Amino acid sequence: MELISFSNSDPGSVLSSVVDHNGVYLHLDFCPQHETSDPAENKDRASSPITKLLTSSTIGHLLMQRGKPKNRMLDYWVGIPLLNALGIFRRRRLVPSHVQRIGVLCSPALGDTLLLSGPLQDLRDAFPAAHIVHICTLQNLAAAEIIPGADERLLVNLTSVARTTKQIRAQRFDVLLDFSVWQRLTAFYTMLSGAKFTVGFDTSGQHRSRAYDHVVKHSAERHELENLRALLSGSGLVPLIRSPHQPTVTISRFTSEPFEGETDPIIFHPWASGKHARLREWPEERWIALARRLEEDTTTFFITGAPSDLPRITQLVDHMRLAGLRAEPFASQDGFFSLTRLLRRVRVVVSVNTGVMHLAAIEGAPTVALNGPTAECRWGARGPYVINVQPADGSGAYLHLGFEFKGQPEDIMERITVDQVVEACESLTANYIGPEYAVSGRR
């Protein structure tokens, strides 16, 4: 029997656990105080199998990654028992009377982070004197650094359990809000955070609600922005929010202006991410056909993507140039800063459903979103000048949490026609009046 410290309503409480030779959780109960005066004994305890399991990167990968069926199985059969066993012994607590330090967690996805900017501003308004810390990762840092509301960003590696737990506990939060939806690892961190009060989603089928003092029902029947708002408004922390903030991004006016000489830029963002990314991408020949329909005398098409997308960006640019089109690659090296500047000058953005789509829509660029498998009612673009395009035959729109591909058709994106997208682009730009700093004659 080995010992590991655990914080719940009793900060001195300790868990004892037994694991078999494969490191699979078997049993859990409370034990007395964990520290002793014997350094050798404490060292032995720190090297125990369960301690290594709970503080290694292995558990981080098991509870976080869903790209492969094996990871989903491990997440289910290891993550659920572990999280719920830890949760059995927690007493749910009330909102603290004084809230001075607030932590915010969300999904590492860029789009989710950008949508969070609305509720984060609402939280800021409710607690103007509190210190708000946005816990983010390298995956969503590009979005986190351009959204308002937080006083500080805490960069963590979610799969490095020991280090991340230590970082979060060092913040001494009065309140920790977990806006993630299915990730059991973020629920695990919330449980071990040492925060006086925690809030998270009760998501159907995910079995993670025991991690929190207060839960809010996550709904498949509303857009994710509304779910994020519901978590805050239902947390018991804030009064009724009658006029919630819209998602917003802010960048310094000193950010460099890319491609200043271009008078008619159009952005195409063809790339999705994740194991099933190809099922959310439009065929290359459709992008070229669309460009031919949208081209004017001074048009330049900017093909955007992450630095890791550069080989595919370059290939598409080469093929567009062979078709007689002006095209340039644009893989921003400064996160979203330069891209946001360019978005403020474009005639239109056409993007698959991904973080850049959300950024363009929030920034107010005319945005045509190609949704396909992604349900527009759950994850569609939201902004002042947006058209969401689904296949004309009504197919697709089956993604709720983002991984429900099994048994679904693989040609949904191909059912979106060039004519549909051209019509959407023309409809958006016909009466669009852009910001005052836009290029003269275009916006």
Interval 11-20: pLDDT, tens = 333 333 323 2
pLDDT band at 71 (very low <50, low <70, confident <90, very high): low
**pLDDT in the model for residue 31:** 33
d(CA 395, CA 413): 10
Residues 223-252 pLDDT 10s: 999 999 999 999 999 988 889 999 999 998
Lowest mean pLDDT segment, chosen from 150-154, 162-166, 250-254, 401-405: 401-405
366 within 8 A of 428, measured Cβ to Cβ: yes
pLDDT band at 274 (very low <50, low <70, confident <90, very high): confident
Q: What is the mean pLDDT of residues 26-51?
A: 39
Torsion over CA of 277, 282, 287 and 289, rounded to 10 degrees? 160
Closest C-alpha to 75, from 194, 165, 208 = 208
pLDDT band at 43 (very low <50, low <70, confident <90, very high): very low
Q: What is the mean pLDDT of residues 132-155?
A: 96
**pLDDT in the model for residue 53:** 44
d(CA 20, CA 22): 5
**pLDDT in the model for residue 52:** 45
User: Residue 391: how many CA atoms within 13 Å on its side-chain side?
Assistant: 19
Strands 2-5 and 14-19 come out as antiparallel
Token digits for 441?
A: 């004659």
Number of H-type helices and E-type strands within the chain: 16, 15
- Describe the crossing of helices 224-233 and 110-126 by its angle, rounded to 10 degrees: 30
Closest C-alpha to 96, from 151, 175, 4, 181 = 175
d(CA 165, CA 169): 6
Amino acid in position 380: G
Residues 330-343 pLDDT 10s: 998 889 999 999 99
d(CA 123, CA 106): 14
Residues 171-188 pLDDT 10s: 999 999 999 998 888 998
Q: Which domains does the chain have, with CATH numbers?
A: 2-88 (no CATH), 101-233 (3.40.50.2000), 264-430 (3.40.50.2000)
Token digits for 135?
A: 């816990």
104 within 8 A of 133, measured Cβ to Cβ: yes
Token digits for 326?
A: 């002006």
- 139 or 58: which carries more pLDDT confidence? 139
158 within 8 A of 186, measured Cβ to Cβ: yes
d(CA 216, CA 208): 12
DSSP states of 171-207: T--SEEEE--SS-HHHHHHHHTS--SEEEEEE-TTT-
d(CA 305, CA 327): 14
Closest C-alpha to 179, from 264, 120, 257 = 120
Residues 303-336 pLDDT 10s: 999 888 999 999 999 999 999 999 999 998 889 9
Query: Given strand 14-19, what is the order of strands in its sheet?
Result: 2-5, 14-19, 25-31
187 within 8 A of 158, measured Cβ to Cβ: no
Provide the whole-model pTM.
Answer: 0.82
Task: Tell me which H or E stretch contains 153.
Answer: strand 152-155
**pLDDT in the model for residue 50:** 39
Token digits for 252?
A: 């310094």
Q: What is the mean pLDDT of residues 262-290?
A: 93
135 within 8 A of 164, measured Cβ to Cβ: no
DSSP states of 41-103: HHHHHHTSHHHHHHHSHHHHHHHH--SSHHHHHHIIIIIHHHHHHHHHTPPP-PPPS---EEE
Residue whose structure tokens are 């090296």: 333
